[in-house]
Amino acid sequence: MKRFFGWLALLMAFSAVVWGAEPDINFFSNQPIPEAALVHTPEPKPDWLLYGAPVALLAFFFVFCLIVKWLIPFKETDMHFDLHDLPVAAQRGIGIAVVLFGIAFCFGGLEAHYQMSLHGSAEAYFQQMGVGKLIAFTHAHLFGFTTSFFIIGIPFSLHFNRLKPYQWIFPLGLAASCTDVISWWGIKYVSPHFEYVTWWCGLVFSVCYLWMLVGLVRVLFFPRVKWFPDFINEDRQKKWDEGHKKQR
C-alpha cells in the first residue's frame, strides 16, 4: 500500500510539471500556497458601474445633441442652393463620391458582421484587441466617420436647407458616430453592456447616413424623381423668395 501511494505521489508531481503547475508546491503539505503561485481574479464590478455607465453614455449622446441645438439654433437664411446649379463636374464628382462611400459603408457593415461571427460578441472582440490596436481603430473610424458624413452631409444639408428636420440628420449621424467610438472603450474596460449603446449608435448613424445617401443619389442621378420633402422644400423656398421680394 505504501508503494502504491508513493507511485501515486510521484505521478502527481510529474503531472504537475507537465501541465505547468509550480514544481515547488507540495500537495500533501499543510503549508500555504506561495503568493506567486496564486491565480488572482478581478473583483466583480458593481451594478451601478455595469449598468449606469452605458446609460450615462447614452445620456451623453442626447445632451450633446441638445448642446449643439442650443449653440447653433435653426434659422433660415437668404441663401438659395440647388445641387443642379453646380458645375457638371461637381455634380458628377459628388454623385460618384456618394456612391463610393455607400459601398465602403456596406463593406464596413460586412466587416462588423464577420467579426461578430468570428468572436461571438462585441465584448470578446474588443477584449482580444490590444490598446495600440484600439487606439489605431479609434483614429481610423473617427477620421472615416467625419470625412464620410462631411462629404455627403454638406451638400445634403445645403440642398434641403428649408427643411428643419433635415437639418438634424447630418449632426445626429456625427453625434452617434462619436458616441459609438466611445462605447468601444467602455466595452473593453468598463462593462459589456456598452454593446447595447454600440448597436443603438450604429442604427442611428446608419439611418442618417443612408437617408442622406439615397437623397443625394436621387437628386443628382434622378432629378425627375421627386418625393414629398422635395415639394415642401421648394414651396418654402418660393415663399421665402416672395416674402423677401415684397420687403424690398
One digit per residue, pLDDT tens: the chain, 248 residues?
A: 555 545 555 555 555 444 444 455 555 566 666 666 666 667 787 888 889 999 999 999 999 999 999 999 988 777 788 898 899 999 999 999 999 988 998 898 899 889 889 988 888 999 899 999 999 999 999 999 999 899 899 999 998 888 888 999 999 999 999 999 999 999 999 999 999 999 999 999 999 999 999 999 999 998 888 877 777 777 777 776 666 666 65
Residue 102: closest CA among 206, 174, 222: 206
Distance in angstroms (rounded) separating the CA atoms of residues 47 and 59: 18
Owner of C-alpha cell 447614452: 58
- Determine the pLDDT at residue 246: 63
- Determine the pLDDT at residue 50: 87
For residue 158, CA distances in Å to 16, 164, 232, 236 come to 71, 12, 15, 14
> What is the pTM assigned to this prediction?
0.78
- Report the 10 Å Cβ neighbour count for 179: 22
- Determine the pLDDT at residue 10: 54
- Report the 10 Å Cβ neighbour count for 56: 13
- Determine the pLDDT at residue 21: 47
Number of residues in the chain? 248
Residue 94: closest CA among 159, 49, 145: 159
HSE-CB at 128 with a 13 A cutoff on CA atoms is 9
If 0-12 CB within 10 Å is exposed, 13-18 middle and 19+ buried, where does residue 71 land? exposed
Distance in angstroms (rounded) separating the CA atoms of residues 77 and 12: 84
Q: Are 98 and 213 in contact (CB under 8 A)?
A: yes
- Determine the pLDDT at residue 20: 47
- Determine the pLDDT at residue 162: 84
Distance in angstroms (rounded) separating the CA atoms of residues 63 and 140: 25
Query: What are the DSSP calls for 49-90, one per residue?
Result: HHHHHHHHHHHHHHHHHHHHHHHS-----S----GGGS-HHH
- Determine the pLDDT at residue 145: 92
- Determine the pLDDT at residue 198: 94
